[in-house]
Amino acid sequence: MTETSETARSAAAQGADFRRHVFYIHGFDPRGTPVYHGHFRAGLSAASARWSRDIAVVESEEEALARGAWTVTSRGAPAGPRVETHYEMLPWTNIVGRYWFPRQQVRLAIESFRFAWTTWRRGILRRFYRPAWALFVAILMTPALLVLWGLAAAAAVVAGAALAMALGTALGAPPWVAIAAPLAVVLLVVAMLSMGWNRLKSWLNVWWVTRFLGYLRGCADGRFERSQDRAHEFAGRMFEVWKAGEVDEILVVGHSLGAVHLVRAGAQLLRLIPEGEDGPNTVLLTLGHTVPLYTLLGGDEEFRRDLAEIATTDRLRLLDVTSGSDPGSSCRISLVEGIDLGERRSRVISREPDFHDILEPETFRRIRMRPLEFHFQYLKPSERGHGFDYFELVTRPRPIETSVASP
């Protein structure tokens, strides 16, 4: 069962056996905290039943949204350990909004061709062909659909107009009818194709894919703001919590493009934490990331150094959970692909979420047909097995060592 907020407040007042502070960095999404708070609340009941824990949010929805943070209480058996998790959003929606380009479909269409050309010219498409097939398809999907739509529209218009003119001539229609009929057919064909395109782009989230790929290219080339200052702000907030020493563990989650900001913030956090000084256990977690795609686009040497630093340090733990079938991610490409680590060894612990094993077959079939829903599955409870489960991880009553629970 899931406790009410009042019961959760009472549980929080009793104290906790383990305290965790989660910092969540969202992806290329302008919608902000309400969407992610909604995702979390929607999963409470299922996660509680799934893991036999009473998991609840202390604050009301209004309080949580006003603060951009909420407190999660969790307890298993009556005498089991109590876990208190402070869940804090680290938003960058204003930056996303700057490069979202609403109602600029022509600009987005051109960007889709530019990105496909860039990745082909730099050998990225060839490199991603097998290990990141879903992303390979996503990169080529929009330009391919636009070309096919253009060809289909041209063929349908020509065929429809020719048929209308032929019928008009055969039936001995007046001259004005012979002219008006083809025009009417052309307008009808264009309207039907436009309706079909609108449905297709909504289903496949065509412009969302184009937007986040274009943002990566713009940052790599230096045309867009790389937001180092924002990442440093994030790191400063993390260090405040680390220095206070009031929690047992800090978990920083970078979902989707949020992983790029996690890399920058994680490296800055390392610079802020004094070497040799004890503090909360610190874990960085990337979910459905596109880090190697950004790295291989080139141009951002500082980012490459930051990634090498957090991937090889023993002062924090870096976990990666990314599905090989997620079109919004770099799939099975290593997080440190293309990074020169020198003599150092990568300490990144990577694994797939195995959605096909942790979800019921019907659920898995549904999300496979909905790319955006598939990409957000990382943030939802599992349904079976002992694989990755976001809620289990956030409320785990012990330090995080791996991304999955012990059977």
CATH number at residue 242: 3.40.50
Q: Are 309 and 383 found together in one domain?
A: yes
Q: Which of 299, 290, 139, 288 is nearest to 224 (CA)?
A: 299
Q: Are 209 and 232 found together in one domain?
A: no
Please report which confidence band the pLDDT of residue 103 belongs to, taking 50, 70 and 90 as the band edges: confident
Tell whether 109 is covered by a domain.
no
Distance between CA atoms of 353 and 288, rounded to whole angstroms? Answer: 10
Q: What is the pLDDT of residues 221-249, one digit of tens each?
A: 999 999 899 999 999 999 999 999 999 99
Q: Are 233 and 306 found together in one domain?
A: yes
Q: Are 42 and 186 found together in one domain?
A: no
Tell whether 316 is covered by a domain.
yes
Q: Which of 176, 181, 187, 149 is nearest to 163 (CA)?
A: 181
Q: Looking at the predicted structure, is the pLDDT value of residue 205 above 90?
A: no
Residues 384-399 have a mean pLDDT of 93
Tell whether 105 is covered by a domain.
no
Domain's final residue, options 201, 218, 235: 218
pLDDT for the residue 3: 47
Distance between CA atoms of 138 and 125, rounded to whole angstroms? Answer: 11
Q: Are 148 and 250 found together in one domain?
A: no
Tell whether 401 is covered by a domain.
no
**Is residue 388 within 8 Å of residue 404, measured between CB atoms?**
yes
Please report which confidence band the pLDDT of residue 220 belongs to, taking 50, 70 and 90 as the band edges: very high
**Is residue 221 within 8 Å of residue 262, measured between CB atoms?**
no
Q: Are 274 and 339 found together in one domain?
A: yes
Residues 163-173 have a mean pLDDT of 63
Q: Are 169 and 315 found together in one domain?
A: no
Please report which confidence band the pLDDT of residue 119 belongs to, taking 50, 70 and 90 as the band edges: very high
pLDDT for the residue 123: 94
Residues 100-117 have a mean pLDDT of 92
**Is residue 396 within 8 Å of residue 407, measured between CB atoms?**
no
**Cα dihedral across residues 259, 261, 264, 266: positive or negative:** negative
Q: What is the pLDDT of residues 278-318, one digit of tens each?
A: 899 999 999 999 999 999 998 899 999 999 999 999 999 99
Q: Are 80 and 157 found together in one domain?
A: no
Tell whether 199 is covered by a domain.
yes
Q: Which of 35, 33, 96 is nearest to 227 (CA)?
A: 96
Q: Are 33 and 56 found together in one domain?
A: yes
Q: Are 201 and 230 found together in one domain?
A: no
pLDDT above 70 covers a percentage of the chain that reads 89
Domain that holds residue 211: 135-218
Tell whether 129 is covered by a domain.
no
CA atoms within 13 A on the CB side of 273: 28
- Tally of domains within the chain: 2
pTM, entire model: 0.90
Distance between CA atoms of 14 and 45, rounded to whole angstroms? Answer: 22
Query: How open is the CA angle 95-98-100, to the nearest 5 degrees?
Result: 105
- N-term to C-term CA, the chain: 21
Tell whether 402 is covered by a domain.
no
Domain's final residue, options 218, 241, 265: 218
Q: Are 153 and 90 found together in one domain?
A: no
Q: Are 295 and 378 found together in one domain?
A: yes
Please report which confidence band the pLDDT of residue 186 belongs to, taking 50, 70 and 90 as the band edges: low
- Per 3-state DSSP, the chain is made up of helix, strand and coil in percentages (nearest 5) of 55, 15, 35
Tell whether 118 is covered by a domain.
no
Lowest mean pLDDT, pick from 43-47, 97-101, 153-157, 179-183: 179-183
Lowest mean pLDDT, pick from 203-207, 228-232, 324-328: 203-207
Domain's final residue, options 218, 234, 252: 218
